[in-house]
Amino acid sequence: MKRVKTGIYGLDELIEGGFPAGRTVLVSGGCGTGKTIFSMQFAYRGAVEFDEPAVFVTLDERPKMIREDMLRFGWDLKKAEQQGKFAILDASAAKVGFPSDEKYTLPQSGIDIDKLLMKIMDISQQMGAKRVVIDSIAGLGLQAENVNEIRKTILKLNYLLLKTNYTTVITSEIAEQSFESGPMMFSKYGVEEYVADGLIVLHYLGIGTQSNRQLYIRKMRGTKHFEDLIPMEITPKGIVVKKPEDEYKI
């Protein structure tokens, strides 16, 4: 099976060299766990370091803020955009019915899944993109009338993305949980984890000045992967997954 480097330091060696190429991976976690950083690291390093152009679809944050925030990791998104290696599709403005001054955006009438996918494919074909990020899937929920409609939308989204052969990362926000608190929720709507080929859950426990970040590979189809909780850090160069033997197994 062909593999795609994740761009996350220390992760590839735990999943046989990277994500399965052309598949969809869901990254879920509570607020502040690092989902956007994870997905951007996958997209940016893929585009700049691995010569795999990327399209980053933002449904929640303004592109201007994203560009500013990512400079802290040394990721110059604007430069990568100017080089034609990286593109941001602003769907956040359309979601609330506002105009956008971004190069790539959607009509103010709101988010339509078919128009969104057509725009993603149009941009991807223009630049020869290999990677796509959708951050986050919850942003689509504001345009659907009920959860069943949301589930149908997610199924359709995944089906069409698989046909394009892009390696895709989708983020989903969930409430922070512990393994002792009962049945775990791995996605917002309870369907994303079933249609995705891979599922990575990010955890963060912060108490006072102490913080504990962990990553859990719930599944990765066609891949023998590490099954314990894995310590991780958000460093000045991005997310770093620690070698399990450097800490203790949980």
pLDDT digit string (tens) for 132-190? 999 998 888 755 567 777 778 888 888 888 888 999 999 998 876 554 554 566 777 77
Residue 206 lies in a domain: no
Whose tokens are 């800490």? That residue is: 247
Q: Looking at the predicted structure, is the pLDDT value of residue 105 above 50?
A: yes
**19 has which bridge partners?**
4
The tally of domains found in the chain comes to 1
Residues 6+ apart with CB under 8 A from 176: 29, 30, 31, 33, 203, 204, 205
Host H or E run for residue 231: strand 230-235
Q: Which domain holds residue 72?
A: 3-8+17-200
Quick check: is 53 in a domain? yes
Predicted confidence band at 248 (pLDDT cuts at 50, 70, 90)?
very low
Question: Is 231 contained in some domain?
Answer: no
Domain CATH for 139: 3.40.50.300
The whole-number pLDDT of residue 62 equals: 96
CB 104 within 8 A of CB 90: yes
pLDDT of residue 185: 67
Phi and psi at 141, nearest 5°, equal -65, -25
Position 227 in a domain: no
pLDDT at 250: 39
Q: What is the DSSP letter of 27?
A: E
From 70-79, 119-128, 175-184, 229-238, the region with the lowest mean pLDDT: 175-184
Cα radius of gyration (the chain): 17
pTM confidence score:
0.91
Block residue for tokens 């919850």 = 138
Buried b (16+ CB within 10 A) or exposed e, 81-102: beeebbbbbbbbbbbeeeebeb
| Res 230 pLDDT > 80 | yes
Distance CA 225, CA 20 (A): 12
**Contact at 8 Å (CB) between 92 and 102?**
no
What angle do the packed helices 63-70 and 35-48 form, to 10 degrees? 80
Contact 35, 135 (CB under 8 A): yes
Which residue has 């400079």 as its token pair? 71
Question: Which residue in 124, 157, 123 sits closest to 140, CA to CA?
Answer: 157
Residue whose C-alpha is closest to residue 163's, from 120, 192, 194, 200: 120
What number of residues does the chain have? 250
With residue 47 as reference, give the H or E element that holds it: helix 35-48
What does residue 113 show for φ and ψ, rounded to 5 degrees?
-60, -40
Residue 15 has pLDDT above 90, yes or no: yes
Residue 205 falls inside a structural domain: no
- pLDDT(77) > 90: yes
- Decide: 198 and 219 in contact? Cβ < 8 Å: yes
Instruction: Assess if residue 150 is contained within a domain.
Output: yes
**End-to-end Cα spacing for the chain:** 30
On whether residue 159 sits in a domain, the answer given is yes
Residues 6+ apart with CB under 8 A from 149: none
Strands 210-220 and 198-207: antiparallel
pLDDT at 129 over 90: yes
- Within a domain: residue 236? no
